[in-house]
Structure formats: structure tokens, C-alpha cells
Structure 1
Amino acid sequence: MSIVRTAHLRLEHWQDCLDLLTEIEQVQQVCGESKHVLARTRFNRYPALIELGRLDEAQRVLEGCLQVFSNVNDLTAQARILSALATVWKKRGDVSRAIELQRQSLAICERLPNPEERAISHGNLFIYLHTGQIEEQCH
């Protein structure tokens, strides 16, 4: 992660972060980077897009990246994308869809050697399940 991008994220300069990522991706394209590398850069756009309320765009970016990561069998990236999509659906208020996506992410994480990815996925799923229970109690 670039220091400048990290600074924009920490300072909540969402549009500056998106502009920088666009510039990075353009340079990568000119340099002939693979679709996989470009998707890794594009994936980093989603937090800023969510914060700017551009959920449809965030979803399109994530779904496009998921296709690329699926094509090259990058399981770690696929799990992260599914978790990010869960965040998009949670922001839309569809907790059941968020839970479904987070469960898919966890299923992939269970096949990965890194326990940290599994722990994060379990934590996210807990949050969505807890949120869903609270919403059911309120209705």
C-alpha cells in the first residue's frame, strides 16, 4: 500500500484516494501489467467508494475484480472481495445478503492456510449475524 494512499485513507480524503488509485492503475496499464495486478489495484477503490456513498460503483468494481481473481484462482483475493461485497450489502441495509456473502468468504478462508483471514471472516460474520438478530427483534 502506498504511503500517499494510506495517508488519504487515514485523513478520509476519499476523492483524493480514488484519484491516486486511478492514476496508479493508468500507469500500470501503460506498463503492461496483467489483469490480475490491475484488479488488485482496482480492489483498493472500494473503501473510498463506500465512504462517498457510491455503492453501485463499489459493487461493480468488486464484482469485476472477483471475476478476474476467480479466473486466476486467487482464493485469498476472492475471499476478500466477497467480504467487501458483504460490506456493500450491509450498507444498503440487506443484512441477509451480507451474511450470505460473508459465509461464502468464510468457506473460502477455511481452505486457506492463513488463520488470520479465517479469524477476520468469522468476526465479520458474527457482526452481521448479530446485526440481523437485532433487526429481527425490532420488527
Structure 2
Amino acid sequence: MIELTHIKDYKPSTMEDFFGDKMEELTDRERLMEHGHIVTLNGEQQGFVALVPVDEGSIWLRSLYFQSGVRPELVLTLFEVLQQHVEEQGLDKLFVFSHQKTLEPLLETYQYQQIDSSDVPVKDEDRPAQTGNWWCYTSKAV
């Protein structure tokens, strides 16, 4: 079973343990600590996501990291878990910025809609520098 557990529920060294020597490459560590979640599968840490609020009813999947060698089906299942998280939290939307074309068919499969960047309530200074596309999952409760 996949679970998302807020990073603050772990001991302070968990993030350093997870990222190891790549910790130095991370930008905006404070935001990652504030909004980060460890992804566990059957109790084992497999990944990390940062779900950053962008307005009262929406979050942005700001960061997504997996341990090397993670099974591809975990990625698929994680998107289902994220959608459940949106529903359970009473949120309206989950935004994803994709700079990898290979991710986009997966987003389409999980009913994300490609949207214009002007429809995303993320401040200009927080937007990714890479070229890519914005996608949005809208809660079924909306």
C-alpha cells in the first residue's frame, strides 16, 4: 500500500537520508521541508513529493523524486494516490508542470487536462525555468 506522510512527521535527518549527496543540488529546501511528503510502499521509503498550496483550493505537485530502481508501476499508482489526496483534503485542483513529454500520456490517462500557463495561479517567480506544459486534475467534487 502506498502512503504519503508529511516530512515533518519524520525525524529531521530523514530528508538528508533520502536525498543523500544530492541534497546540495536541491533549491528551495525550506519549501520542500514545509510541503514535502515521503512516499512509502509497504513501509519502505520510495519517493518524495512536494505538494505546494497555490490558492485556497489548489495544490501544485512541485517536486517528484524516486529512489533509483523504483518500479514503474509505483509512479502510476502514485498519481492515483495524489488524486485521492486531493479528494480527501477537499481541494479543487492539482497542478502539474511537465517538462518531460514522456509523462504527458500518463497525465492524460489520469484525466489531467493540459492548460494554458495563464490559468495557473502560481507566482511568476515560482514558475519553473524549463520549457514545458501545465496540466490540471480537477476534483470530481467540484
- TM-score normalised by structure 2 residue count: 0.38
Which structure is larger by alpha-carbon Rg, 1 or 2? 1
Q: Which has the higher strand share?
A: 2
- TM-score normalised by structure 1 residue count: 0.39
